[in-house]
């Protein structure tokens, strides 16, 4: 988690550790034939997770969506991503009247050793709620490229969007198949509104 660890991340680690110990205790009680303790242990574990998930979902639904401006970094542990420029690729033939939008993103490694963010995913949405994934085979340096410690590289993901798309927003996410989905208040947590970068187009 790096030095930027949050209290909510520590809370998840604590609940996870407590759950592991609780499961060990339940297993020992089961081996000893102590059925009452097994039932009590399972009830406690279930109760704690029901409370935790209730708080998680409540915070996710109650928090406002975070809006990030161009030039403002978004950090996932030691890796930070900053949208520095947005433009349309002229002279590139796209069928069906679609536009090719290029977003220049600075990828920075705040750590001391080389690393990459293999979970990072990016897509665009518009005012109508339509979604466009990054176009494969067009961009060069990917957002998940390996970056030396303390260094930065430029990535230029491109997106083929509808010709009538307005209010474009870029979303950087790790998706839901990772521990952040269970971190209270995290942009990637269950039912939480994703952090967006308003591109001004």
Indicate the domain borders of the chain. 7-62, 67-198
Percent of the chain at pLDDT > 70 equals: 93
pLDDT value for 201: 79
pTM: 0.80
The per-residue pLDDT for range 112-132, each reduced to its tens digit, is 999 999 999 999 999 999 999
Q: Which long-range contacts (C-beta less than 8 Å, at least 24 apart) are formed by 172-178?
A: 172/74, 172/76, 172/81, 172/120, 172/121, 172/122, 172/143, 172/197, 173/120, 173/121, 173/122, 174/76, 174/119, 174/120, 174/121, 175/119, 175/121, 178/119
Mean pLDDT of the chain: 89
Look at residue 198 and tell me whether its pLDDT is greater than 70. yes
Is a pLDDT exceeding 90 seen at residue 89?
no
Q: CATH classification of 67-198, choosing from 3.30.2010.20, 2.60.40.420, 2.170.190.11, 2.60.40.1240? A: 2.60.40.1240
pLDDT above 90: residue 148:
yes
């Amino acid at each position: 988690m790096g030095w930027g660890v949050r209290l909510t991340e520590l809370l998840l680690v604590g609940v996870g550790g407590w759950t592991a110990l609780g499961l060990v205790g339940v297993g020992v009680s089961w081996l000893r034939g102590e059925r009452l303790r097994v039932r009590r242990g399972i009830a406690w574990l279930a109760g704690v997770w029901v409370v935790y998930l209730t708080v998680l979902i409540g915070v996710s639904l109650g928090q406002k969506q975070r809006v990030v401006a161009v030039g403002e970094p978004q950090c996932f542990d030691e890796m930070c991503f900053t949208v520095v420029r947005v433009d349309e690729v002229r002279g590139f033939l796209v069928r069906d009247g679609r536009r090719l939008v290029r977003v220049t993103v600075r990828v920075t490694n705040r750590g001391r050793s080389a690393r990459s963010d293999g979970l990072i995913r990016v897509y665009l949405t518009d005012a109508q709620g339509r979604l466009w994934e990054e176009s494969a085979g067009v961009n060069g340096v990917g957002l998940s490229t390996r970056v030396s410690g303390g260094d930065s590289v430029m990535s230029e993901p491109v997106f083929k969007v509808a010709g009538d798309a307005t209010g474009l927003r870029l979303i950087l996410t790790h998706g839901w198949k990772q521990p952040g989905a269970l971190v209270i208040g995290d942009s990637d947590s269950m039912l939480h509104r994703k952090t967006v970068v308003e591109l001004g187009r």
